[in-house]
Amino acid sequence: MRLTTQRQIILEELGKVTSHPTANEVYDMVRKRLPRIGLGTVYRNLELMAESGIILKLEVGGTQKRFDATVTPHYHIRCSSCGKVDDIDLEVQQEINEAAAKTCNYKILGHHIEFSGICSECLEKNGEQLLN
C-alpha cells in the first residue's frame, strides 16, 4: 500500500495521541491540517491502513471502532463508564497461546485481552478514589 499524503497525515495525527480515537475523532484531528478532507476518506484510509497492518483497529466491547498507532502486541483497558480506552503497561503473556493450543484443534496465531474497569476521571466524578 502506498503511503499517500493523506495517509501520512492520518498516521502522524494518530501517533500523537494515546487515546485510541474513533474515526470521527481522527477526522477532527486531520481536518486541522487537511481542511477539505472528507470523513469517508479518513474512514476508508483508516480501514486500509488497519488491513495492511500499519495501525490497529480496536473493536472493543460494544463501542465504536477505535484506532491505535501502536501495532506491537499489547493489552488495553476500557472504562465501563465513559468508554475511554488506554494501553496497559503489562508484558504480553505468550504462554496463554501455548495453553490455548493444548485445549483445542487450532493453530493459535495470537490473542487479544481487553480489561475493563472505571477510569480515574469517572471515579473522581463519582467521588471515589483508586485503591492502588
* Per-residue pLDDT, 132: 65
The total of other beta-carbon atoms located within 10 Å of residue 129's CB is 9
Annotated binding site for Zn(2+): 79, 82, 119, 122
Q: Which domains does the chain have, with CATH numbers?
A: 1-69 (1.10.10.10), 72-132 (3.30.1490.190)
**CB contact set of 62 (below 8 Å; sequence gap of 6+):** none
pLDDT tens digits, 41-65: 999 999 999 999 999 999 866 667 9
DSSP letters of 4-18? Answer: -HHHHHHHHHHHT-S
User: Tens of pLDDT along 88-129?
Assistant: 989 998 899 999 999 999 999 988 888 999 999 999 998 888
Residues making up the annotated binding site are: 79, 82, 111, 119, 122
Binding residues for Fe cation: 111
What is the reported pTM?
Answer: 0.79
